[in-house]
Structure 1
Amino acid sequence: MSSNANADDSSHETTPEPFIINEAAPHRIVIVGGGAGGLELATTLGNKLVKSGRVSVVLVDRSSTHIWKPLLHEVAAGSMDANSHQLEYAAQARWHRFVFQPGELKGLDRERKTITVGNLVDDDGIELLPQREIKYDTLILSIGSITNFFNVPGAEKNAISIDSMHQAEHFRRRMIGLCVRADQAQSQLNIAIIGGGATGVELSAELRNTAEVLGAYGLHNLDPHRDIRITVIEAAPRILSALPERVSVKTTELLNRLDVDVLTDAKVSEVQEHAVLLANGTQIPADLTVWAAGIRAPQILSELGLPVNRLGQIVVSRTLQTEIDPNIFAFGDCAACPWPEKNSTIPPRAQSAHQQASFLFNALKKRLDNQELPLFEYRDLGSLVSLGRFDAVGNLMGPLIGRAMFIEGVLARLLYISLYRMHLVALHGVIRTCADTVAHWLRRKTSPRVKLH
């Protein structure tokens, strides 16, 4: 990870000294979206620029906690306890000298340089914070993406997407409840995963692991391979179509070994309550259906008066500035940034958001000094796909290698795990990340391998 993202480790070992945001600061930076990129950028700016008094930084997010989105499939499968991996935005703001404002983006006034943030209510519907306006000098949009159902009949109603912690936990509770019911009735449970990208593939493997573990915790009538049928449905000729074919072929072989059915060239025409219908007339039984077939930008981005593409992403230049307003930047999944080498746009990956967050930190420093902004250059470092405890595969790319290199097994698994650890280093620094890693390892040794309630 970039050294620009290093945090002050000592701030976690002692109570931080109180600080006051300078209202007369020459530059107000507002970041909307606390995902991997947005939170890393807010943390770095707080450490390096707010401390010096050059700027004030406000982070806006509709959730009160952050979790690394690539982990959600593990939460959904029950193989990860989300409570031990969530980070409170308010605490991170306190530790790293930025301000957290909870709420959902509702509007933008470019003339007055303000955004409107919706009110905040509790579980009982009681308003905690009213709708409010936040002024900015530089606005950075990083609100991620949501599921694209492609207007498939019944998909949004009958399939569960895994875009958020709430959705992942909802899926996990439904799955465990259905497993208990199938165990008592000694019947088969059918799980259909629509979408053969990284999320769908990784979820299928984690679910097979969960099925095997549940048998050790009381579901003795349920054979994890015979009674829990998992089917991955992909419209393209192969799964992981965005990755090299060798990775796709190897992953398909591994899933077959796990008794996961892989259907390719299978276009979904309708999602019913207990079945998935394909365009060729085939009907796939499904007691539980997951939609992981595509993403799009949140609807609000199309309502701000900024240029967007057909997926609703904000169109930006290689400086990550919007086409019509140099005071507004966008990055991550919600932005369409040119990738000249591929004649396309930067792919929506965690490594893209991390690279863009590091780029924006340096670009904002130049902007404060009235210097010309650099152009963002994306470096494709390859992709890794984890099949849980069973295996991992992927390809590495980079200037030292000179070509794509296929990897699998222990090395691929270690590199996959290191991606998350690098994100934690960007947020907490090396010392706390090492301590948290040891704590999580010890916790897993004294807890069930899946969350059972």
Structure 2
Amino acid sequence: MPVKNIVILGGGFGGLRAALNLEKKLGSNPDYQITLIDQNTFHLYTASLYEVASGELSPHCVLVPYAKILRGKKIKFLNATATKLDPRTKAIETSSGEKIIYWKLVLALGSDTEDFGIKGVGENAVGLKSSADAERIYQHLLRCAVTKGAPIEVVVGGGGFTGVEIAGELTQHRKCPLAITVVEAAPRLLPGMPERISKEVAKKLNFLGVRVLTSSPIKEVKEQEVTLVSGKKIPTDLTVWTAGVRGSRFLNPEIFPLDKKKSLLVDKNLRVKGFKDIFAVGDLASTGVAWTATKAEEDGKVVAHNIAEIAKSKKPSLKPYKVFEPPLIVPAGKKWAIAKVGKIIASGPLAVVLKNFVLLYYLVTILPLTKALKAWWSGECEVLQIKTPQQRIL
């Protein structure tokens, strides 16, 4: 009897959680193979990307090698980019020329930047979806500091979570002053959050010297100028685009059912509608839950449970995904954040402490306890075979 291959495409929060949980449930069963495919050799902790962009952290400090995470685990890791998916033959083709046949497939490819068709975004703005993006922002600011001097004009397109994080973090570089403007099309920052949170964040950003423009949709982005629909022009040396995301462009809309944000339509068990052997997690699963790391991890747990149940039982007890409001923490500056956990809202240093404990919890779930504690307590990345990060100065 051939081994049944469970393939996970993408090693982000949801894909990695699905792989690790499946290994716990089926790793000792020789009838099943768990295969994780990712284009990178490392897992990216996206929650700290804004600190890399500011120069506070080295790019490597948000990267955890899969070799470390998967050591001792019965998970086959393939470092490749998926180039084609054929659900009819259940085959995946990769950039390395391999053709992989799956028994069950988990799509965990995350999201891509959405430019909404706004002219010049792709050519003249930088997103913040990868460590390469973050390093590109940092290096661009370095060049501006040498060639232009202060102040460096930075426009952040989008006043959501990422926009607030990067704007607040960049204000900390007093040795190379930045004139930062956040431009948001909605009437307030963080439009999906309670108004109280929006007001507190706007107040904090103003205190930090950030100019906030709401109800200000962008019409065009040029290399040194951002034009609003109103006709107002804002000078810029660097435009960071955080205004929107969409499901991965890898998906063929002629084959798969997609919603307006290009995420996959799924049933209550996170199966892609019309495809009984394909599941989706995280940003790719259209469930009505905000796209967060917590959402992705919960999806990964549900999918791992359901695939294991299908493997073990002729009458599997499948688990539905839950519609929930994930806890949210939004930092704005080095020592301030605002958190919402259920109906409780807290801001200031307490929320920063909570953010740090969230990092600890996550590290413990993917690394051995002693290494996770060491990395968290010391603030060092030597656990990842990387030199201790030191703040980089603009």
Classify 1:48/1:431 alpha carbon distance in 2 versus 1 (closer, same or farther; 3 Å): farther
TM-score, normalised to structure 1's length?
A: 0.81
Q: What does residue 431 of structure 1 align with?
A: 370
Which of 188, 194, 203 does residue 166 from structure 2 map onto? 203
CA-CA distance at 1:449 after TM superposition? 5.2
Which of 259, 262, 276 does residue 309 from structure 1 map onto? 259
Report the Cα distance in structure 1 between the residues aligned to 2:372 and 2:351, rounded to whole angstroms.
21
Report the Cα distance in structure 2 between the residues aligned to 1:203 and 1:95, rounded to whole angstroms.
37
Classify 1:191/1:102 alpha carbon distance in 2 versus 1 (closer, same or farther; 3 Å): same
Q: What does residue 293 of structure 2 align with?
A: 350
Classify 1:448/1:81 alpha carbon distance in 2 versus 1 (closer, same or farther; 3 Å): closer
Q: What does residue 329 of structure 1 align with?
A: 279
Classify 1:291/1:84 alpha carbon distance in 2 versus 1 (closer, same or farther; 3 Å): closer
Q: What does residue 413 of structure 1 align with?
A: 352
Establish whether residue 275 from structure 1 lines up as the match of residue 275 from structure 2: no
Q: Is the 8 A contact 1:352 1:378 kept in 2?
A: no
Q: Is the 8 A contact 1:315 1:336 kept in 2?
A: yes
CA-CA distance at 1:378 after TM superposition? 3.0
Q: What does residue 89 of structure 2 align with?
A: 112
Classify 1:68/1:82 alpha carbon distance in 2 versus 1 (closer, same or farther; 3 Å): same
Which of 301, 304, 322 does residue 361 from structure 1 map onto? 304
Q: What does residue 155 of structure 2 align with?
A: 192
Which of 338, 341, 347 does residue 393 from structure 1 map onto? 338
Report the Cα distance in structure 1 between the residues aligned to 2:363 and 2:245, rounded to whole angstroms.
25
Report the Cα distance in structure 1 between the residues aligned to 2:35 and 2:254, rounded to whole angstroms.
19
Classify 1:322/1:177 alpha carbon distance in 2 versus 1 (closer, same or farther; 3 Å): same
Q: Is the 8 A contact 2:57 2:389 kept in 1?
A: no
Classify 1:439/1:47 alpha carbon distance in 2 versus 1 (closer, same or farther; 3 Å): farther
CA-CA distance at 1:452 after TM superposition? 4.2
The Cα offsets for residues 263-311 of structure 1, whole Å up to 9 and x where unpaired, read as 0000100001101001111111101000100001122212571211222
Establish whether residue 33 from structure 1 lines up as the match of residue 15 from structure 2: no
Q: What does residue 189 of structure 2 align with?
A: 239
Report the Cα distance in structure 2 between the residues aligned to 1:115 and 1:322, rounded to whole angstroms.
17
List runs of 5+ in structure 1 lacking aligned partners: 1-22, 120-130, 216-221, 338-344, 398-403
Q: What fraction of aligned residue pairs are identical, expressed as a percent?
A: 29
TM-score, normalised to structure 2's length?
A: 0.93
Report the Cα distance in structure 1 between the residues aligned to 2:24 and 2:320, rounded to whole angstroms.
24
Give the partner amino acid of 1:361.
A
Which of 314, 325, 336 does residue 380 from structure 1 map onto? 325
The Cα offsets for residues 184-209 of structure 1, whole Å up to 9 and x where unpaired, read as xxx43100000000000000111111
Query: What SS does the corresponding residue of 1:418 show, helix, strand or coil?
Result: helix
Residues 251-270 of structure 1 correspond to what in structure 2 (within 5 A)? 251-270=201-220
Query: What SS does the corresponding residue of 1:277 show, helix, strand or coil?
Result: strand
Q: Is the 8 A contact 1:108 1:304 kept in 2?
A: no
Give the partner amino acid of 1:204.
A
Give the partner amino acid of 2:37.
V
Establish whether residue 151 from structure 1 lines up as the match of residue 117 from structure 2: yes
Report the Cα distance in structure 2 between the residues aligned to 1:85 and 1:359, rounded to whole angstroms.
26
Establish whether residue 319 from structure 1 lines up as the match of residue 319 from structure 2: no
Give the partner amino acid of 1:389.
K
Which of 10, 20, 26 does residue 43 from structure 1 map onto? 20
Query: What SS does the corresponding residue of 2:72 show, helix, strand or coil?
Result: helix
Establish whether residue 450 from structure 1 lines up as the match of residue 370 from structure 2: no
Q: Is the 8 A contact 2:265 2:286 kept in 1?
A: yes
Report the Cα distance in structure 1 between the residues aligned to 2:374 and 2:75, rounded to whole angstroms.
24
CA-CA distance at 1:85 after TM superposition? 3.4
Establish whether residue 93 from structure 1 lines up as the match of residue 70 from structure 2: yes
Report the Cα distance in structure 1 between the residues aligned to 2:15 and 2:388, rounded to whole angstroms.
32
Aligned residues: 388
List runs of 5+ in structure 2 lacking aligned partners: none
| CA RMSD across the alignment | 2.0
After the TM superposition, list the runs of 4 or more consecutive aligned residues in structure 1 that deviate by more than 4 angstroms: 446-449
Report the Cα distance in structure 1 between the residues aligned to 2:261 and 2:381, rounded to whole angstroms.
43
Q: What does residue 341 of structure 1 align with?
A: none
Establish whether residue 133 from structure 1 lines up as the match of residue 99 from structure 2: yes
Report the Cα distance in structure 1 between the residues aligned to 2:304 and 2:388, rounded to whole angstroms.
40
Give the partner amino acid of 1:165.
S
Which of 279, 285, 288 does residue 238 from structure 2 map onto? 288
Q: Is the 8 A contact 1:302 1:308 kept in 2?
A: no
Q: What does residue 127 of structure 1 align with?
A: none
- Structure label with greater radius of gyration: 1
